[in-house]
Every structure is written in structure tokens, then in C-alpha cells.
Amino acid sequence: TLLVDFPVTALPRPIMDDYVLVYGDLDAGELREVMDYARAMDCSVVSIGPYNLGADHNVLDAGVDEWLGWIRAARTVVTSFFHGVVFSIKFHREALAVQRSSKHYKIRQLVTDLALVEEPFRTGSSPRNLTTMLWIRNSDESRDAIARARREAVLFLEGALSPLKER
């Protein structure tokens, strides 16, 4: 997924500005925390994919380009899906990863491999510590690590596929 370059100018522009994008299933407490965060940032909450009660806008049937456009233009992406984190990174958006046991190891490995900065998510209005949610922030170091990993992967694929071209 990180190898593909998407022409950003070709992606559709969402109908809203200044929004927090939710991509995935959040429980009521998690969604409440995200809504509090969005309100504090004076942002709307847009949910793409699964319906999230309480979101200002739900997009249930987005195609690939529209889905990418929503992620690219979001202020923050809140996701329980690996690819939500990956595309947040590609488009230099902060991600709030909602950790699920089925995806946690993949997201943790990605964070480690790409030298991403992570920290627990806490809001001032929350009496509880949401250990299931983790900020993943892009930095210059992580962008360099992504570029390096991408170059290495392209070189590997070119070498692996070159015998096929010689046939």
C-alpha cells in the first residue's frame, strides 16, 4: 500500500472542511471521546464505512477515490483499521489508532518500522484513560523512514521481478 503513488490532485474534494474522520467501529465511549475532541478543535465528525451514531455526517458507500479524498483532507483520522493508519501516514495526517486485538500487532509493527511517534490519547473531559486509543503522529523522521522503506521495497520488487522479464 505504501508503494502506490496516488495523484492527490485527482482525488475528489470532500464536501466539508475541518473534520475528524472516523473509519471503523467505535464503541459508545470511544466515539464520545472522539466527539469531545472534535468539538474542542471546532471540527465536525465524519464517519466513513460503518455507520457511527452521533457523527455529523456518515458516508456509507464511498468508492476508492472518494474514500482516499476523505482521508487526505481530514484534520485527524480515527481508525480501527490497519489501512486507515497506512493512508493517514501516506497523506501526512495524524491518526488516532483504536487498538483492536485483531489489528494491534500490524499497527504496532508499522509504528516501529517507520519510526512513528505514538502516545496515549487523553481528553480533558475524560475521567478514564483510553488505553485502547493511541496517537500516531508523523514527523520528519517518520517521513524519511517511509521514503527509505518505499525505495527498498521498490528495489526488492524490481530485483525479484527481473528474471520474469528476461523470459
**pLDDT value at position 3?**
58
Q: Find the range with the poorest average confidence among 60-74, 103-117, 125-139.
A: 125-139
- Given a contact cutoff of 8 angstroms between Cβ atoms, the answer to whether 75 and 19 are in contact is yes
Instruction: Find cell 473509519 and name the residue.
Output: 23
Higher pLDDT, 101 or 48: 48
pLDDT at residue number 9: 58
Report the pLDDT value the prediction gives residue 43, as an integer from 0 to 100. 93
Would the pTM count as exceeding 0.75? yes
